[in-house]
């Protein structure tokens, strides 16, 4: 599609979405910070995403994080659940080789929060998910890389994106 044709296509107006820290999962030597994003909920809602989606995602995470982390993966990462308008998303990200993120992406239909299937395309994340990724990047730099002889795992785990509409 040409640049001229792209300019003619309308974009959906940006609408802020709820982002909330859900907790920390510990499994098989891994510690994962868990976030939720919702297209339909706001700060007055108790939950960010459905409990059934979280349970389904945890089961998938347990199959991905099945063994003690390799030396170069640190056993640290984050999980993002996203109840979108048209689909549900699960992002599993973990730190490796000091400065890299390993990534797996899963999708389910919005009507089926337990039907996650791995996405094998080149899709990475949407603009709302990237706000969590950006926060986690900065937390990694500040707590783990700025003092490479004394990285602070607990400080990294305690660094959490505040609940907000983003």
Q: Residue-wise pLDDT tens for the chain (166 aa)?
A: 566 656 667 888 999 999 999 999 999 999 999 999 999 999 999 999 999 999 999 999 999 998 766 667 889 999 999 999 999 999 999 999 999 999 999 999 999 999 999 999 999 999 999 999 999 999 999 999 998 788 999 999 999 999 999 9
Helices vs strands, H then E, count in the chain: 4, 7
| Res 121: pLDDT | 95
Distance between CA 160 and CA 80 in Å, rounded? 13
Distance between CA 151 and CA 86 in Å, rounded? 40
Could you tell me the CA-to-CA distances from 8 to 1, 2, 3, 5, 82 in Å, in that order? 11, 10, 9, 5, 29
DSSP state of 152: -
């Amino acid at each position: 599609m040409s640049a001229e044709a792209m300019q003619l296509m309308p974009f959906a107006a940006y609408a802020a979405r709820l982002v909330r820290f859900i907790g920390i999962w510990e499994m098989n030597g891994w510690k994962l910070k868990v976030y939720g994003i919702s297209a339909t909920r706001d700060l007055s809602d108790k939950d960010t995403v459905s409990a059934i989606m979280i349970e389904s995602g945890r089961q998938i995470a347990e199959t991905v994080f099945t063994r003690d982390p390799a030396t170069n993966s640190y056993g640290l990462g984050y999980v993002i659940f996203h109840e979108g308008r048209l689909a549900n998303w699960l992002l599993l990200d973990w730190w490796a080789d000091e400065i890299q993120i390993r990534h797996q992406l899963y999708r389910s239909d919005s009507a089926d929060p337990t039907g996650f299937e791995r996405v094998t395309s080149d899709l990475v994340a949407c603009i709302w998910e990237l706000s969590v990724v950006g926060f986690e990047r900065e937390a990694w730099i500040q707590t783990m890389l700025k003092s490479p002889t004394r990285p602070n795992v607990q400080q990294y785990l305690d660094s959490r994106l505040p609940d907000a509409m983003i």
